[in-house]
């Protein structure tokens, strides 16, 4: 199962990279969100997906709780970053009138 999940993560990274390379700001943001999912899956997979119970004392032999704690932290941080980039995109469009990255290039003299 670990192999399958890492391959799945690979597919997620592929799509996310493809989106990051696009011209539209919105697609770039969605790309980062998908990249976050991929990272979570990789953390899960490399720690081993052994069968076991939920990590609660008294339920028997639990699965590894540490990657879960790490991912939980990461989910929240990922959300914070997504929120900021979304608002940034919104403000960019409001001020500059475009969401095309090709046009957001600053001064040609710089």
Partner 1 sequence: MTLLHWAVLLPFIAAILIPFLYKYLKRIHTGWFVLVLPLVLFVYFLSFIPKTSSGEVILNNLNWVPSLGINFNVYLDGLSLLFALLITGIGSLVVLYSIYYLSKHKEKLNNFYVYLLMFMGAMLGVVLSDNLIVIYVFWELTSIASSLLISYWYTREKSVYGALKSMYITVFGGLSMLGGFSLLYVIAGTFSIRELIANADLVMASSLFIPAMILVLLGAFTKSAQFPFHIWLPDAMEAPTPVSAYLHSATMVKAGIYLVARLTGVFGGSPEWFWIITIAGLVTLTWGSISAVRQKDLKGILAYSTVSQLGLIMSLLGAGSAAFYFQDGDNALYMTAILAAVFHLINHATFKGSLFMAAGIIDHETGTRDIRKLGGLMTVLPVTATISLIGLASMAGLPPFNGFLSKELFFTGMLNVTEYGIFNLETFGFIIPVIAWIASVFTFLYCILMFSKTFMGKFDISKLKVKHVHEAPVGMLISPVILAALVILFGLFPNLLAYSLIEPAMAAIAPGILSPGEFFDVHISHWHGFSPELWMTFGVVILGILLFMTFKKWENTAFYRGEQDLFNYAYDYGFDGFIKGSQWLTRIQMTGRLRDYFIYMNTFIILIMAYTMYRYSLPAIQSLDLSPIPVYFWLVILVFVCSIVIIPFINNRVALIITTGVSGFIVALLFVLFRAPDLALTQLLIESVSVILFMLVFYHLPKLKKVKTPPKMKAVKLIISVGFGLMITLGSLSVFSMGQEVNFDSISEYYVENSKEEAGGYNIVNVILVDFRGLDTMLEILVVSMAVLTVVSLIRLRFKGSEDI
For the segment 19-58, give every residue that binds partner 1 (CB under 8 A): 19-24, 26-28, 30, 33-34, 37-38, 40-42, 44-58
Q: Is 96 in the site for partner 1 (CB under 8 A)?
A: no
Tell me the closest approach of the beta carbon of residue 32 to partner 1, in angstroms: 11
d(CA 42, CA 9): 6
Contacts to partner 1 from residues 51-90, by CB under 8 A: 51-58, 62-66, 68-69, 71-73, 75-77, 79-84, 86-90
d(CA 77, CA 1): 27
Tell me the closest approach of the beta carbon of residue 1 to partner 1, in angstroms: 4
Cα 18 from chain centre? 14
Residue partners of 35: CB distance under 8 A and separation at least 6: 12, 13, 16, 17, 20
């Amino acid at each position: 199962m670990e192999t399958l999940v890492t391959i799945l993560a690979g597919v997620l990274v592929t799509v996310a990279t493809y989106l990051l390379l696009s011209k539209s700001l919105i697609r770039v943001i969605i790309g980062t969100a998908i990249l976050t999912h991929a990272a979570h899956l990789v953390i899960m997979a490399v720690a081993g997906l052994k069968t076991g119970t939920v990590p609660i004392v008294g339920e028997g032999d639990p699965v590894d709780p540490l990657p879960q704690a790490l991912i939980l932290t990461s989910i929240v941080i990922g959300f914070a970053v997504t929120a900021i980039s979304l608002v940034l995109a919104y403000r960019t469009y409001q001020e500059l009138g475009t969401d095309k990255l090709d046009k957001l290039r600053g001064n040609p003299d710089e």
